Structure 1
Amino acid sequence: MRDTLPLLLGALPFALIYGAIAASAGLSMAAAIAMSAFVFAGSSQFIAVGLVAAQTPVAIIVLTTLIVNLRHMLYSATLLPYLKELPQRWRIPLAFWLTDETFAVTVHRFQREDSSAYRHWYQLGSSVAMYLNWQLWCFLGLLLGNRIPDAQGWGLDVAMPVTFIGMIIPFVRTLPIIVCVLTAGAASLLTLSLPYKLGIVVSAFAGIASGLLAQRLATTRDEACRQ
């Protein structure tokens, strides 16, 4: 929990703005709270609320949030070697509570060379801290939503991209990852005008495809050099 504290502060304005926007987008209090409690994915919640407000077809909302959340499969695959010996009663809640912030904190803890057999408690502490923090500020945002004039105009939602950039930088160490990040970033700018935030889907696939291509070319080059 202590190590997650800086990220809790980063999530605070984002959660507050989500609550405020959800209240003004037409979602009921119960629906907005349920989304925070059971979806528990800040970026997807933010995107979904915007799409709901724009009266976007349900299929596009589902597809967009699915693509945005696919990164959690990569998080899980990265953590699996450290958690595969745990029983399902541990792995299921840890999977549900896994967020970008918790992954960024716990992966560094897991990668330390030590003999601790209880490192999953470290992830649980980070997860619970993030979950309770998110629920609290989303709820306050819902309560204060109608009292915050032009909540989106405050620019507090900048906390999300800044937090993501801060988490991504330590992992940008190889050429394929650099290619992936730059391609996805460029694609997101070029597709910004697409309706229903479809640019997110396009950018995600463009980044993944370019990263895989760069990795394949690097592997082919290395094999040719060895021959």
Structure 2
Amino acid sequence: MSNDKVPLPVSNFKRANFARGARDTIPMLLGAAPFGMIFGTLVSASPMMPWHGQLMSLSVYAGSSQFIATGLIASHAGMLVIWLTTFIVNLRHMLYAATLLPHVAHLSARWRWLLGFLLTDETFAVVAGHHQQALTVDERRYAHWYFLGSGLAMYSNWQLWTLVGLLFGTLFPGLQNMGLDYAMVATFIAIIVPQLNRLPYFAAAIAAGSFAYLLQNLPYKLGLLSAVFVGVMVGVVLSRSSAIGKEAA
């Protein structure tokens, strides 16, 4: 009788990676839940229709941008202002994408577009942490299924809590003032701190924090937007410089 192990079906590795990605994201789901509920509540109190808020979560799927866009819409800002503001806020995703690109470059365009849409702060933290571990060959080969599991878990969670906020937010008109947003602050701290072991991220955090403090008195949150832009630019420049240095070596 042969003692050779029978290789597991490919579907088993896909399902295992998918399930592990969703499971590892559970702590992030808890942090995002109040954030999604508060967003739904804000939409209920704004000139927007409830279905506008749910559609925004389904199609935009970017918490910070959704909050800012809702506020700008309520203040009757122009569409160009809304687009530019949300674009600047989401520039940090360039760093996320650049970091994860080596792990997804071999995938088809369909896969990359899907994973790019599902990429959020929380999913990035989970997936980047996963790739920093000592993975087996099969775990690396099907790591995009881990990414998919994490991304879909966050996406579903965001839709659920947006809907809860839209349906029941009017019952708690002061929900956004109850301090529930502390959970998201704690989540971002948990995301950021482990990433500061690389110079581009550390420098970007220092630059963004410094400018946010120095420009905090600017109107219309322009200080915060400027800090985001500066932090992203610092991170991108240092990341590219590091990559060029490695190629030259």
Quick check: 1:104 aligned with 2:128?
A: no
Give, in angstroms, the shift of residue 103 of structure 1.
Answer: 0.9
Give, in angstroms, the shift of residue 54 of structure 1.
Answer: 2.5
Q: Normalization by structure 2: what TM-score?
A: 0.79
Quick one: which amino acid aligns to residue 81 of structure 1? P
For 2:42, the equivalent position in structure 1 comes to 21
CA change 1:122–1:208 in 2 (3 A) is closer
Alignment of 1:35-114 (within 5 A): 35-112=56-133, 113-114=135-136
Deviations 1:169-223 (A, max 9, x none): 011124554343233123223333323322222112333455678x59x99xxxx
For 1:223, the equivalent position in structure 2 comes to none
Name structure 2 gaps, 5 residues minimum. 1-21, 243-249
Aligned residue pairs, count: 218
Identity between Structure 1 and Structure 2 (%): 48
Alignment of 1:154-173 (within 5 A): 154-173=178-197
Q: Distance in 1 between matches of 2:191 and 2:222?
A: 24
SS of the residue 2:86 aligns to: helix
Work out whether residues 21 and 151 of structure 1, in 8 Å CA contact, stay in contact via their aligned partners in 2.
Answer: no
CA change 1:152–1:193 in 2 (3 A) is farther
CA change 1:96–1:206 in 2 (3 A) is closer
Q: Distance in 1 between matches of 2:107 and 2:45?
A: 43
Report which of the two structures shows the higher radius of gyration computed on alpha carbons: 2
Work out whether residues 64 and 200 of structure 1, in 8 Å CA contact, stay in contact via their aligned partners in 2.
Answer: no
Q: Normalization by structure 1: what TM-score?
A: 0.86
Return 120-129 or 84-93, whichever deviates more. Answer: 84-93
Which of 137, 141, 157 is matched with 1:133 structurally? 157
Quick one: which amino acid aligns to residue 50 of structure 2? M
Name structure 1 gaps, 5 residues minimum. 220-227
Work out whether residues 91 and 229 of structure 2, in 8 Å CA contact, stay in contact via their aligned partners in 1.
Answer: no
For 2:137, the equivalent position in structure 1 comes to 115
Quick one: which amino acid aligns to residue 87 of structure 1? S
For 2:173, the equivalent position in structure 1 comes to 149
Q: Distance in 2 between matches of 1:168 and 1:10?
A: 14
For 1:225, the equivalent position in structure 2 comes to none
Deviations 1:80-125 (A, max 9, x none): 1111111122221111111111111111222334202111111111
Quick one: which amino acid aligns to residue 107 of structure 2? L
Work out whether residues 51 and 196 of structure 1, in 8 Å CA contact, stay in contact via their aligned partners in 2.
Answer: no
Deviations 1:8-52 (A, max 9, x none): 000000000000011112211121111000000111111211222
Work out whether residues 172 and 178 of structure 1, in 8 Å CA contact, stay in contact via their aligned partners in 2.
Answer: yes
Deviations 1:49-71 (A, max 9, x none): 12222333322221111011111
Return 169-178 or 158-167, whichever deviates more. Answer: 169-178
Return 73-82 or 118-127, whichever deviates more. Answer: 73-82
Quick one: which amino acid aligns to residue 115 of structure 1? V
CA change 1:203–1:122 in 2 (3 A) is same
Q: Distance in 2 between matches of 1:40 and 1:67?
A: 15
SS of the residue 2:216 aligns to: coil
Work out whether residues 179 and 210 of structure 1, in 8 Å CA contact, stay in contact via their aligned partners in 2.
Answer: yes
SS of the residue 2:52 aligns to: helix
Quick check: 1:182 aligned with 2:231?
A: no
Q: Could you say what the CA RMSD is over the residues aligned between the two structures, in angstroms?
A: 2.3
